[in-house]
Amino acid sequence: MKNRIFSIFTVFTIVCIMIVSPKLSHGFKNRGYFNQEFVRGEIVEIVEENIMKDPIIEDRYRGSQEVMVKMLEGEERGREYKVYNSLGSLSNNYVRVGDKGIFTIRESKGKKVAWYFNPKRDNYLYILGGIFAAGLLIFGRLKGIKSLLALTFTGTMVIGVLIPMIFAGYSPVIWSVVVMVIVTLVSFILIGGFERKTYSAIIGTVAGITLAGVLTLTFGSIMNLSGINMSGGEQLLYIAENYNIRIKGLLFASILIASLGAIMDVAMSIASSANEIYEKNPEIGGGELFVSLMNIGRDVMGTMTNTLILAFAGSSLPTIMMIWGYDMQYQQFINIPAISIEIMQGLAGSIGIIATVPLTALVSTLFIKRDNREEKE
């Protein structure tokens, strides 16, 4: 009954955040940044094109296109615009008649003009998301539904609470901790219920993520790294002029968000294993239980640490390839801010995982032995 009430309360919270957050956000948004609209449109005619095959990348063209576009939604629905589409080395989207895309419309010299922004990709993302949700529901059943609810809550808290608070000028450090703790509590209770293993996993996760955060703050300060050095940090400097964003704290928030999932996974694996071992052998001693959990934890630790490191390495693959291509010396590339941040992210998160294993094992053992004593009394 408690679990059902908590699930309903979570849904209610998600709906409230979705309703309230946009209204609050508009109160401090700089309207100067939102004087254009993005509209779905369809290519109805290729007026002119001057293209050649890309000499470097296969199946790509260089040059330009002039096309007629029919807008498919909003106030511009049915209206046609002549759009210039540049095919350069970075922005390169060759279009054909019938292709759908997203177009930017804004006023210039008293009249509305349109630019090609990007191909329409959202439908394919919805299909992929549907496959994910279907798989979760088919194989996870009730747990799958709760997992989807937990995922929705996490996304809502990050997008609807954390980001607006950062834009409002509040500390990214404090609010990322608050949001991540709430996400941990709600996610574990939704999936595990009000059970002993849930409490053990929560304590282990909070301890592990706290350690990762402390290491990030400490070594980020020593190495003179902050949110300014992150990918997109320089662009945020221009936005920060019109807001009260504390960019320096964004690195801490970023690492907390990136590491939380892996640390939660490890904590719940250890806590669930503790319950299974105890149910199979209620007479097991505390020391023996702890040793068994540590043996399980070592296997989990190895794979999850590898997963975290590979995730960070994958996100910086273009940078690593650039270093290789330019034949940079070790002292040169190891001190590049982007590389230093990626290494620090991977190591701080991995240390958080390493600490989570014994902490969760210890807490799980203590909880189980305490409950065992109470049952005997």
Q: Is residue 243 part of a domain?
A: yes
What predicted TM-score, i.e. pTM, was given to this entire model? 0.82
Same structural domain for residues 336 and 254?
Answer: yes
Same structural domain for residues 113 and 150?
Answer: no
Number of compact structural domains in the chain:
2
List the domain range (segments joined by +) for residue 187. 142-376
pLDDT surpasses 60 at 33: no
Q: Is residue 339 part of a domain?
A: yes
Alpha carbon distance 127, 32 (integer Å): 34
Mean pLDDT computed over 349-374: 88
Return the H-helix or E-strand segment holding 184.
helix 172-192
pLDDT surpasses 80 at 331: yes
Give the model's confidence band at 35: pLDDT under 50 very low, under 70 low, under 90 confident, else very high: low
Return the H-helix or E-strand segment holding 266.
helix 250-280
Same structural domain for residues 159 and 111?
Answer: no
Which CATH number covers residue 51? 2.40.50
- Return the sign of the alpha-carbon dihedral for residues 242, 246, 251, 253: negative
Same structural domain for residues 104 and 194?
Answer: no
pLDDT of residue 88: 83
Pairs from 288-293 (Cβ < 8 Å, separation ≥ 24):
289/364, 289/365, 289/368, 289/369, 290/361, 290/362, 290/365, 293/360, 293/361, 293/364, 293/365
Q: Is 126 helix (H, G, I), strand (E, B) or coil?
A: helix
Same structural domain for residues 101 and 155?
Answer: no
pLDDT surpasses 70 at 7: yes
**pLDDT, tens digit, 9 for 90 and up, residues 200-240:** 999 999 999 999 999 998 998 899 888 777 777 677 777 77
